[in-house]
Amino acid sequence: MVHGITIEICAGSFTDALTAERFPVDRIELNSALELGGLTPSLHTFLSAKANCTKRIICMVRPRPAGFVYSLQETEIMFRDAEEFLDHGADGIVFGFLNPDHTVEKTLTSRMVSLIHRFKAEAVFHKAFDETPDPFQAMQDLVDCGVDRVLTSGQKPDVPQGAELIHSLIHQDGDRIQILPGGGVNEHNIAAVLKETGTAQIHFSTKTSLQDCGSYFAVSAAKINAILTAMKPVADLNGRHEQLSGEDIEMLDQEPYEEAISPAGMDDDRDH
């Protein structure tokens, strides 16, 4: 926690987790394929991150891109993946189940929450929440299911556009369930996001696009630092050189990611 704001970094690889580890953040949401909105990471990616990071690690369990209405086969794989992560020490699981009408699938959600809580870990419902037709009913359903936290951009493409709904949800339900704003958060809007939502926690990925016979997303150390610095007017953060060691400052100066950004439109921070 940095001056009262809990910070979660969305990582898409072991390398991303190592980048996040070097900053004063609280949690890492570990995924694969950030360019697809975040999918289930491999077990060995998680084990490597767990062995090398001190932050709490929340594992994404999402077997494919697109929607959140899953077949029986997909559902069973999700539960097996979740149990394996938990058995190896995951601090939480982020997941989402919807019905065909996009309401919360309460039976599967309750079952997943029970599994996660059996391991004394956190149950996090991801941005499938933003597809629900009635956010206040959906939030009640998630409270009924025992979910600990909900990731949301306020049912809009990004948090700045959804700030009003997020503020309302925090005001109405924040004492019953954690509400985590995430999606489209960057150094240019972070101060306004914190003020307008009233949130005490924030999620961002600081994705930048790299090239290797095609483009892929990776977490940028320079972008993490830029957001933390931009939080200063609201969260009273110290500047970069007071946050980081000399070794970390040198890392920012030499980081190759900033020279590998592909065409405009790829540096997006909208994740599940």
Mean pLDDT, residues 194-206: 96
Which residues are CB-contacts of 10 (< 8 A; sequence separation ≥ 6)?
A: 29, 31, 34, 38, 182, 203, 204, 205, 207, 219, 271
Q: What angle do CA 69, 73, 76 make, to 5 degrees?
A: 90
Which residues are CB-contacts of 184 (< 8 A; sequence separation ≥ 6)?
A: 153, 157, 158, 159, 160, 161, 268, 269, 270
Mean pLDDT, residues 30-43: 96
Share of the chain above pLDDT 90, in %: 79
- For residue 130, being part of any structural domain is answered with yes
- For residue 237, being part of any structural domain is answered with yes
Low-confidence winner among 43-57, 191-205, 232-246 (lowest mean pLDDT): 232-246
Alpha helices (H) in 29-71, listed in sequence order:
43-52
pLDDT for 111 beyond 50: yes
CATH number at residue 199: 3.20.20.380
Residue 207 confidence (pLDDT): 86
The domain of 98 spans: 6-259
Average per-residue pLDDT in the chain?
90
How many domains does the chain contain in total? 1
Mean pLDDT, residues 153-158: 98
Confidence of residue 211 (pLDDT cuts 50, 70, 90): confident
Helix (H, G, I), strand (E, B) or coil at 4: coil
Share of the chain above pLDDT 70, in %: 85
pLDDT digits (tens, 9 = 90+) for 240-258: 334 555 555 555 555 554 4
Confidence of residue 4 (pLDDT cuts 50, 70, 90): confident
Residue 241 confidence (pLDDT): 36
Return the DSSP state at 33: -
- For residue 265, being part of any structural domain is answered with no
Which residues are CB-contacts of 174 (< 8 A; sequence separation ≥ 6)?
A: none
- For residue 271, being part of any structural domain is answered with no
Helix (H, G, I), strand (E, B) or coil at 163: helix
- For residue 272, being part of any structural domain is answered with no
- For residue 169, being part of any structural domain is answered with yes
- For residue 17, being part of any structural domain is answered with yes
Question: Can you say whether the dihedral through the CA atoms of 251, 254, 260, 261 is positive or negative?
Answer: positive
pLDDT for 265 beyond 50: no
What pTM was estimated for this model as a whole? 0.88
Task: Give dist(CA 186, CA 114) in Å, integer.
Answer: 34
Confidence of residue 210 (pLDDT cuts 50, 70, 90): confident
What letter represents residue 175's amino acid? D
pLDDT digits (tens, 9 = 90+) for 65-98: 999 999 999 999 999 999 999 999 999 999 999 9
- For residue 106, being part of any structural domain is answered with yes
Dihedrals phi, psi of 191, to nearest 5 degrees: -60, -45
Confidence of residue 270 (pLDDT cuts 50, 70, 90): low
pLDDT for 145 beyond 60: yes
Radius of gyration of the chain (CA): 18
